[in-house]
Chain A
Amino acid sequence: MDQYLLLMRLDIITKEAQPSPEQLQVYMKQYHEWVAGIAAENKFVSGTALSTEGRVLQSDKVPIDGPFAEIKESIAGFITIRAESFDDAAKIGADCPILNGEGNSVEVRKITSVNENG
């Protein structure tokens, strides 16, 4: 099985689009249930959530504040999974609860090599 990266993109900049603490709790619960389901299939490799601030470095190497903001949607987190194929990975990604929100997306990318371990 190959490994795939699922990048979760959502609007973390526009004020009105941010969830209330109660909503966030519901979202996190849904998210954890989704991840648990993947793990139950032994397809979960690792997951990382990101805080909303950030810095961007371009070729002049002068850091700019804020996440990469050419577009409204930024990466909120990513998880690595094992999947049989791109389609299989996309199917898993389609169940991601962030897709309940308009404008959000999950990008599915294949990882080039996973041959090293300790």
Chain B
Amino acid sequence: MDHQEIIPNLFRTEYRKIVSVLSKRFGFEQIEIAEDIASETFLTAAQTWGLGRIPENPTAWLYHVAKNKAKNHLQRNALFEGKIAPEIKSATSDLYDGDIDLSPENINDSQLQMMFAICHPSISQEAQIGLSLRILCGFGIEEIAAAFLSNKETINKRLFRAKEKLREERIEIAFPEPAKIEERLSTVLTTIYLLFNEGYYSVSQNKTLRKDLCLEAMRLCVMLVENKSTGTPQANALLSLMCFHSSRFEAREDKNGELVLYDEQDTNLWNADLISKGGYFLNCAARGDQLSRYHLEAAIAYWHTQKADAKEKWENILQLYNRLLQIEYSPIAALNRTYALSRANGKEEAIVEAEKLKLEDHHFYFALLGELYTDIDNQKAAQFFERAISMARTQGDKQTLQRKIDKFRPADIPD
């Protein structure tokens, strides 16, 4: 690998570590200085490595440079504030040497603590996700803008305001006190969950980027799971859920990047390794007596990884949705529950239930009705699919629905 390849890779994995460690040392109010130092470090690397050879241990090299830059900053700061004691005025830079701790343990702790600082209820979830992508995942502003279908300027402003707010709130980069950890962890988990969904269900056409979002969400969750105080049953359940979902990443898109519906997927493309990891973490999640929405969603996702289309499968999915809705209502869960009902109890019963939902703002609602009326009243089904197409947001969704209509006989299709 030459430096043009190695630097972006290292940026993705090391930038966030340097920023977390330095911000923790400087305090959250100086997070921008930490970001600047991390960026400068990579700039220095690009200049130096571009001229000569790449060092044997590039990561150690980066840490060394970052450390020196951080020490310089601390010295300048100390001099500027006049707090430096006279006897060490002539001090060498060794003064701050032990101070910048880039050991694996401290890197890990700093990143976890940064997670709690960023995923703070005082800023919006959108801002939490944006900051997470930048500071915890090392995404470029352009990539974040692409993920949100926005532009660089908007994202920069959003991140700036979020950091301002966290500074005003005097957020510290530290673990919450034990009594508060569960409550704060729940915000962190929500952000990770949304980050994953952003990747999994995103309207963005960039497949690599979407997959990256999912992998990053999983990586952050792995960090939580591996830590004693944050590896709660909920965190394990969330990780399990993400493993199960991402096992279908390759199967749910065809060569042209179009969405392949669950029922039409080539099950040979499902990733067995991720499915078994999902099972492992679901087992870990079974500790304790709490049943969270993540547990139920992970169990639903588990049943979706079962290839055989047995009645038992849909019956289990139905019961899990029944319980999930009792814990937390969402329109999508209500629609999915009704679909599971049709598979477990029959379409007639599901139609009665579906018509009670009245979710007329969602194109999925009409897609579901179209699905339920298919083979019962194809003309009605086609009308519902048409209505869903008129509301669908992406071209891919529209095409998928159109294919459903195309299967009907011409006589069934309304003019």
Q: Taking the complex as a whole, does A directly touch B, i.e. does some CB pair lie under 8 Å apart?
A: yes
**A interface residues with partner B (beta carbon < 8 Å):** 115-118
User: Closest CB-CB distance, A106 to chain B, in whole Å?
Assistant: 28
B323 at the interface (CB under 8 A from A): yes
Once the chains are docked, how many angstroms separate the CA of A115 from the CA of B233? 14
List the B side residues contacting A118 at CB < 8 Å: 292-293, 327-328
Contact between B289 and A115 (Cβ–Cβ < 8 Å)? yes
**With the chains together, A116 CA to B323 CA distance in Å?**
9
Q: How far is the CA of A116 from the CA of B299 in the complex (A)?
A: 15
Contacting residues, chain A, for B327 (C-beta < 8 A): 116-118
Chain B residue contacts of A116, Cβ below 8 A: 291, 323, 326-327
A2 to B54, CA, bound (A): 65
Q: At the interface, is chain B mostly helix, strand, loop or mixed?
A: mixed
Chain B min CB distance to A32 (Å): 28
Chain B min CB distance to A41 (Å): 20
Top 9 A-B pairs, shortest CB-CB distance: A116-B291, A118-B327, A115-B289, A118-B328, A115-B291, A117-B290, A116-B327, A118-B293, A118-B292
Residues of B within 8 A of A117 (CB): 290-292, 327
Main SS of the interface on chain A? loop
Give the docked Cα–Cα distance between A115 and B327 (Å): 12
- With A116-B327, A118-B327 given, can you name 4 additional A-B contacts, CB distance below 8 Å? A115-B291, A116-B326, A117-B290, A118-B293
Report B215 CB to chain A, min CB distance, Å. 27
Which B325-378 residues have C-beta < 8 A from chain A? 326-328
15 residue pairs from A and B, CB less than 8 Å apart: A115-B289, A115-B290, A115-B291, A116-B291, A116-B323, A116-B326, A116-B327, A117-B290, A117-B291, A117-B292, A117-B327, A118-B292, A118-B293, A118-B327, A118-B328
Chain A: CB-nearest residue to B290: A117
Chain B positions within 8 Å of A115 at CB level: 289-291
Closest to B293 in A: A118
Q: Which residues of A contact B291 (CB under 8 A)?
A: 115-117
Closest to A116 in B: B291
Using Cβ atoms and an 8 Å threshold, which residues of chain A touch B323? 116
Chain A neighbourhood of B289, CB < 8 A:
115
Chain A min CB distance to B285 (Å): 14
**Complex CA distance for A118 and B182, rounded to whole angstroms:** 12
Most chain B CB neighbours (cut-off 10 Å) among A115, A116, A117 = A116
Per-residue A-contact encoding for B274-317, CB less than 8 Å = 1, 0 else: 00000000000000011111000000000000000000000000
Docked Cα-Cα span, A25 to B293, in Å, equals 42
Nearest Cβ on chain A to B214's Cβ, whole angstroms: 24
The residue on B at minimum CB distance from A117 is B290
Q: Which residue of A lies closest to B292 (CB)?
A: A118
Distance between B232 CB and nearest chain A CB, rounded to angstroms: 13
Closest A residue to B326 using CB positions: A116
**A116 CB, min distance to chain B CBs, angstroms:** 5
Q: Report the Cα distance A116→B290, complex, angstroms.
A: 6
Distance of A90 from chain B, by nearest CB (Å): 26
From A118, which residue of chain B is reached at the shortest CB distance?
B327
